Amino acid sequence: AQTVTQSQPEMSVQEAETVTLSCTYDTSESDYYLFWYKQPPSRQMILVIRQEAYKQQNATENRFSVNFQKAAKSFSLKISDSQLGDAAMYFCAYRSAPGYALNFGKGTSLLVTP
């Protein structure tokens, strides 16, 4: 079974600064998808960004970008120009290409200070 590890239970960043959240995963598959989801206090899980393993180019969505290192099985999320609204729990998730289930990490709680 694939495992997803988020080694940082909590992170803190000042408004307007940049922060990077780490994620590693374990798989023997070559084709898969990786995701970052954000869960604010409302508990609504919101998709932040998605990366296909076959794409070498790192995904970017506005202030959010990833550093995908397939050989190292690493998938970090960089948040630039952090805003108060970015405060949330961030989950890294893995899904095999023909599969259905998302395997989630334990999450990283991000605190944004003014």
Closer to another protein by Cβ: residue 71 or 100: 100
**24: exposed, middle or buried (C-beta count within 10 Å: 0-12, 13-18, 19+)?**
middle
DSSP state, residue 20: E
Residue 109: C-alpha distances to residues 21, 71, 88, 112 (Å): 10, 27, 6, 10
Q: How far is the CB of 59 from another protein (least distance, A)?
A: 12
Task: Characterise 56 by phi-psi region: left (phi > 0), alpha (psi -120 to 50), beta (else).
Answer: alpha
Closer to another protein by Cβ: residue 14 or 55: 55
> Looking at 7, 14, 44, 69, which residue binds another protein (CB under 8 A)?
44
Site for another protein in 46-85 (CB under 8 A): 46-47, 50
> Looking at 27, 45, 70, 74, which residue binds another protein (CB under 8 A)?
45
Among candidate residues 79, 82, 102, the one with its CA nearest the CA of residue 92: 102
Q: How far is the CB of 18 from another protein (least distance, A)?
A: 25
Which residues make up the interface to another protein (CB under 8 A)?
33, 35, 37, 42-47, 50, 91, 97-107
